[in-house]
Amino acid sequence: MEPKTLELFALHAPVLELALRGAVIYLLLFVLFHFVVRHQAVSLGITEMVALVLIADATQNFMAGEATSLAESAILAGAMIASHLLVRFAYALRHRLLRRRRNRRAIA
């Protein structure tokens, strides 16, 4: 591979920093949209909307040539996807727990 091609995959920032930055930004925007927007976009769930916006932003930097490497953009997008999946899992777990509680009250 040519030196310029290899530069696309080089990391110029620590992986943990990139992953943390992506996760923190995702969670901050999720909380902001959850309380400010308050489910006005009915066709998309709040978590899907946040994930879509952030992944588009993270990959946009690479496509515009502003990011330093493809690997950094991929790590950011991966951290945002992981954060999205964790939030979805937490919602599903909460839903299950609430359903169990309602069923126990109905039985008693």
**Model pLDDT for residues 59-104, shown as the tens digit of each residue:** 666 554 455 677 777 777 788 788 888 888 998 999 999 999 888 8
Cα 99–82–61 angle (5° rounding)? 140
- Percent of the chain, pLDDT > 90? 9
Model pTM above 0.85 = no
What pLDDT is stored for residue 64 in this prediction? 46
Within 10 A of 76 (CB to CB), how many other CB atoms are there? Answer: 26
pLDDT-based confidence at residue 30 (cuts at 50, 70, 90): confident
Mean residue pLDDT of the chain comes to 75
Tokens describing residue 6: 């290899």
> Which of 7, 9, 25 lies closest to 76 in space, CA to CA?
25
pLDDT top residue among 106 and 58: 106
